Amino acid sequence: MTSSTLPATTPTRSPARRLRRAGGSGRSESRLATWLILPTAVFLLSVVGFPVVKALYLSLFEDRFAGAGPFTGLGNYAKALTGDGSADFWPAFIVTNVFTGISVTFELAIGMMMALIMNRAFKGRALVRTSVLVPWAIPTAVTAKLWLWMMQPDGIVNAVTGQKIIWTGSEWPSKWAIIVADTWKTAPFIALLLLAGLQIIPGDVYEAARVDGATAWQRFTRITLPLLKPAILVAVLFRLLDVLRIYDLPALLTRGSNDTKTLSMLVVEQVQGSTKYGYGSALSTLTFLYIFVVAFAFVKLLGANVVATQAPKEVKK
């Protein structure tokens, strides 16, 4: 990503910025920035950078039983997109997007509601804040087993609702099972981020609005939402990255049956199951590239003001 991808810098300079420029501290700031970012760079390069580069390299070789085979260029990529692997790749691509679209929408709606409630003053809000965190706090490996158990044909979900749905064994119910479990677990993540975002909205903005006679809904859409945009953006962005890589829930709930096999499951199948590192790495890279495009488009479309550095905020009418 280059600077063109984040059109967030506002032309208006803050007095602070002008002050600093006048002070002529640009070069020393740049040096300080380098030192401050260096530890991050060391961690990310060694733990993520090294394996990613290795995967990129491996993806250019054919797989042989004994290990890496001859150089094949983009052969593994062609295999996934148009060749033997395309019958697995495209359905996985579609269902991954279906999960992402539906889950993130629900998570945002429910998370927003949770955050707004938690932000209010009422008795026992400690209880609410704690219970909201419970789903997020239990490891996915455990929640997946819990949901699998609950969604058995003679499990508690069918017992309580009086249904006879074969949740993990039919087309759409199995997709809903995954979406419900994912939404339940991660709506609190969004809620926490939005709650923190709400904290930073100055109270007197609401005061002024109330004096102007704005309704609760107007205050929400005209103050809360615009001011919460950076927090929403970060929360949704990281949920996008996560759901696009979803693995453990479908792996445990359906094992990919009934068209629920996601891109990450394909990667695991190739890398851990078949030990085909070349093809598996190509699949990882394709997943990575797709997520990159989605994130890029998302940041671009929403005019991501994540780093609206030091600019005064304008509350639009």
Which 149-208 residues touch other proteins, going by CB under 8 A?
149-150, 152-156, 159-160, 166-170, 184, 188-189, 192-193, 195-196, 198-208
Site string for other proteins, 28-67 (x = CB under 8 A): -xx-xxx-xx-xx--xxxxxxxxxx-xx-------xxxx-
C-alpha angle 225/294/77, rounded to 5°?
A: 170
Q: Which is nearer to other proteins, 21 or 73 (CB)?
A: 21
26 lines the binding site for other proteins (CB under 8 A): yes
Q: Which of 110, 176, 300, 302 binds other proteins (CB under 8 A)?
A: 110
CB contact at 8 A, 59 and 268? no
What is the footprint of other proteins within residues 216-255 (CB under 8 A)? Answer: 216, 218-219, 222-224, 230-231, 233-234, 237-238, 241, 245, 247-248, 254-255
Tell me phi and psi for residue 304, to 5 degrees: -30, 105
Degrees to nearest 5, angle at CA 82 with 1 and 61 = 70
Nearer to other proteins, 216 or 297 (CB): 216
Q: Map the footprint of other proteins across residues 275-294, applying CB under 8 A.
A: 275, 277, 280-281, 284, 287-288, 291-292
Whose CA is closest to 99, among 217, 186, 160? 186
Q: Is 75 helix (H, G, I), strand (E, B) or coil?
A: helix
Phi/psi class of residue 61: alpha, beta or left (left: φ > 0; alpha: ψ in -120 to 50)? beta
Nearer to other proteins, 33 or 74 (CB): 33
What is the nearest approach in angstroms of other proteins to the Cβ of residue 66? 7
| Residue tagged 């509601």 (tokens) | 113
Looking at the Cβ atoms of 100 and 287, the one nearer to other proteins is: 287
Q: Which residue among 73, 101, 273, 303 contacts other proteins (CB under 8 A)?
A: 273
Which of positions 117-146 make contact with other proteins (CB under 8 A)?
Answer: 117-122, 124-143, 145-146
d(CA 34, CA 4): 21
CB of 273 to other proteins, least distance (A): 4
Minimum distance from CB of 195 to other proteins (Å)?
7
- Token couple for 218: 């107007």
Pinpoint the alpha helices (H) of 200-301: 203-211, 216-219, 225-243, 248-253, 263-268, 277-301
Residues 68, 46: Cα–Cα separation, whole Å: 23
